[in-house]
C-alpha cells in the first residue's frame, strides 16, 4: 500500500488530522491497535477551547457539538467555604464548550466513514520505519498477515504509551517530566450537575472538581492517593467525600445517583523535544502530557494538529517545507505555556503531602488574590479559554 501521510493512532489528534488532510485531498491512512468501540468507551476530556471548536468545524464535524454542547461563560473557584466565579467571557470575550471527548471522537469517526477515509482498527505491532531516510514506511499485522504502507510522512498520534515516540533513538530526544504525588478518582453518573458551571475546589481534604457532560449527566472528580483502590470507593463514599470538599450550599443541593463509570487517573506533566524526527511527527499526547486540572490535554492535541496540517498543506499545495520545518518549534511554544498553566492550576488547587498547613494558607492567599484582582483573574481566564494558535 502507499499513502501520503500514515497516521498512527485514532484518538482526537489522529482523527482530526486525518479529516483535515482528507478534506484537502491529501491521502492518508489511520492505524490503531484497538477497536473503535474500545476507543469510544474511554471517558476522558470534557472542556474544549474555541480553537478546538474551530478545528472541528474546519474538519466538517462540528454540527452535533454546536447542537448538543454546552457553551460556558465562566467557572467557579471554591475555597475557604465559598464560591468565587471567574467570568471567562466578561474578562476575555471568549468562552469554552463543554462537550465530551467521546462524542467528539464519535463525530470524527462518523465523518471519516462518510468521506471514505481508510482506517485500520485492531492493527497489531504497528511500527514506523526509516523516517530518518527518504523512504519512510509503516508495518503492521492484521489477522496474522503483515502489511506495509509506504508514505511521505508518518504522524505519530498514538498517545503517551504509543510506539512512535519509543521508535526515536533515545539520544535524539530530551524529555522533561514531573509526576504528582496523587491521582484523580472520577465518576460519571446520570444526575443533574450540582451547578450549571464547573466548580474547581481547593479544600484541606484535597481537590475536587464538579464537571458535566450534559444537563442530566455529571462528571465528578476528587483528588486521591496514588495507591487508592477503586473497589474501596462505593458511590456513597465518593459522594460523601466530594460533599465534604465543597461549599455547604453545593453539598446540600447535590443530587446523587449510581455511577456508571469510575476510574483513577495519575497526574503528570511530560514533554518530549523535539516533536519532529525527519519524516516522523509527534502529535498530541504522544509528545506531551499535562495534568487535567487546566483542561488542556485535548486542546493541545488540536493546536499541534493545526500547526502540522498547516505545514503539510504548504508542502503539498505550495511545495514549501517551511511549515513542516517550523512544526516542532511552533507547537512546543504553545505546549510549554499550557504545561506551565496546568502545573500552576494543579499546584494551587491540590493538597500536597509535604506542604502542611503552611501550604494550605499559601494556596488560600493565592486564590484570594486571584479572585479579587482583575489583572490576576484575567490572566487565569486568558489561559483557561486557551492562548491563540
Ligand atoms: P489518545 O486519545 O491517547 O489517542 C491515541 C490513540 O493511539 C492508539 N495507540 C496506538 N495505535 C497503534 N499502535 C500503537 N502502538 C498504539 N498505541 C496507542 C490508542 O489506542 C489511541 O486510540 O491521544 P490524542 O489523540 O493525542 O488525544 C489526547 C487526549 O486524549 C488527552 O490529552 C485528553 O483526554 C486529556 N484530558 C483532557 N484534555 C482536555 O483538553 N480537557 C479536559 O477536560 C481533559 N480532561 C483528560 C481529562 C484526560 C484524562 N485522563 C484519563 C488521562 C480528564 C482525564 C481524566
Ligand atoms: C471533565 O469534564 O472531564 C473535565 C473538566 C475540566 C477539567 C478536567 C476534566 O479541568
12 CA distance to ligand 1 centroid (A)?
Answer: 7
Predicted confidence at residue 43, as pLDDT, reads 87
Which residue's CA is the nearest one to ligand 1's atom 2?
11
The one-character DSSP state at 278 is: T
pLDDT profile of the chain (389 residues), mean per 10: 98 98 98 97 92 98 98 97 97 98 97 97 98 96 97 98 97 97 97 98 97 96 97 98 98 97 96 98 98 97 98 97 98 98 98 93 96 98 97
| Residue located via cell numbers 520545518 | 325
Cα–Cα dist 346/293, whole Å: 6
Nearest atom, ligand 1, residue 186 CA = 55
Structural element, H or E, at residue 102: helix 101-114
pTM reported for the whole predicted model: 0.97
SS3 sequence, 179-215? EEEEEEEEEEECCCCCCCCCEEECCCCCCEEEEECCC
What's the angle, vertex CA 144, arms to CA 142 and CA 150, rounded to 5? 50
Q: What pLDDT was estimated at residue 388?
A: 94
Residue with cell 486525518: 18
Contact (Cβ atoms closer than 8 angstroms) between residue 167 and residue 128: yes
Supply the residue whose CA is at minimum distance from atom 4 of ligand 2.
46
Question: Is 296 an active-site residue?
Answer: yes
Ligand 2 pocket mutation, candidates 52, 213, 295, 383, criterion most atoms within 8 A of CB: 295
Task: State the closest ligand 1 atom to the C-alpha of 13, by its place in the atom list counted from 1.
Answer: 25
Question: Given this model, what pLDDT does residue 66 score?
Answer: 98
Amino acid at each position: 500500500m502507499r499513502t501520503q501521510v500514515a497516521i498512527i493512532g485514532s484518538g482526537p489528534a489522529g482523527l482530526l488530522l486525518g479529516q483535515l488532510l482528507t478534506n484537502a485531498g491529501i491521502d492518508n491512512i489511520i492505524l490503531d491497535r484497538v477497536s473503535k468501540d474500545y476507543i469510544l468507551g474511554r471517558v476522558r476530556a470534557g472542556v474544549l477551547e474555541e480553537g478546538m471548536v474551530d478545528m472541528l468545524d474546519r474538519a466538517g464535524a462540528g454540527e452535533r457539538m454546536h447542537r448538543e454542547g454546552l457553551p460556558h461563560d465562566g467557572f467557579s473557584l471554591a475555597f475557604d467555604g465559598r464560591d468565587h466565579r471567574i467570568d471567562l467571557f466578561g474578562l476575555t470575550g471568549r468562552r469554552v464548550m463543554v462537550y465530551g471527548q467521546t462524542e467528539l471522537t464519535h463525530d470524527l469517526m462518523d465523518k471519516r466513514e462518510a468521506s471514505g477515509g481508510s482506517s485500520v482498527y485492531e492493527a497489531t505491532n504497528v511500527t514506523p520505519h526509516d523516517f530518518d531516510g527518504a523512504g519512510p514506511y509503516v508495518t503492521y499485522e492484521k489477522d496474522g498477515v503483515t502489511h506495509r504502507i509506504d508514505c511521505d510522512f508518518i504522524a505519530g498520534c498514538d498517545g503517551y504509551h504509543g510506539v512512535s515516540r519509543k521508535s526515536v533513538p533515545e539520544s535524539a530526544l530530551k524529555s522533561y517530566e514531573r509526576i504528582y504525588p496523587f491521582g484523580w478518582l472520577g465518576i460519571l453518573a446520570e444526575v443533574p450537575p450540582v451547578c450549571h458551571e464547573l466548580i474547581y475546589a481547593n479544600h484541606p481534604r484535597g481537590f475536587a472538581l464538579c464537571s458535566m457532560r450534559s444537563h442530566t449527566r455529571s462528571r465528578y472528580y476528587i483528588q486521591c492517593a496514588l495507591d487508592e483502590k477503586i473497589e474501596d470507593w462505593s458511590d456513597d463514599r465518593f459522594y460523601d467525600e466530594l460533599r465534604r470538599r465543597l461549599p455547604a450550599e453545593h453539598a446540600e443541593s447535590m443530587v446523587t445517583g449510581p455511577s456508571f463509570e469510575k476510574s483513577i487517573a495519575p497526574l503528570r506533566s511530560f514533554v518530549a523535544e523535539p516533536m519532529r524526527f525527519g519524516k516522523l511527527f509527534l502529535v498530541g499526547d504522544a509528545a506531551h502530557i499535562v495534568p487535567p486540572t487546566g483542561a488542556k490535554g485535548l486542546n493541545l492535541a488540536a493546536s499541534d494538529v493545526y500547526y502540522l496540517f498547516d505545514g503539510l498543506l504548504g508542502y503539498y499545495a505550495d511545495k514549501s517545507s517551511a511549515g513542516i520545518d517550523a512544526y516542532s518549534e511552533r507547537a512546543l511554544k504553545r505546549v510549554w505555556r499550557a504545561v506551565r498553566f496546568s502545573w500552576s492550576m494543579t499546584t494551587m488547587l491540590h493538597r500536597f503531602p509535604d506542604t502542611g498547613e503552611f501550604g494550605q494558607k499559601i494556596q488560600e492567599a493565592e486564590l484570594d488574590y486571584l479572585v479579587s484582582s482583575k489583572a490576576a483573574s484575567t490572566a487565569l481566564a486568558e489561559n483557561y479559554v486557551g492562548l491563540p494558535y
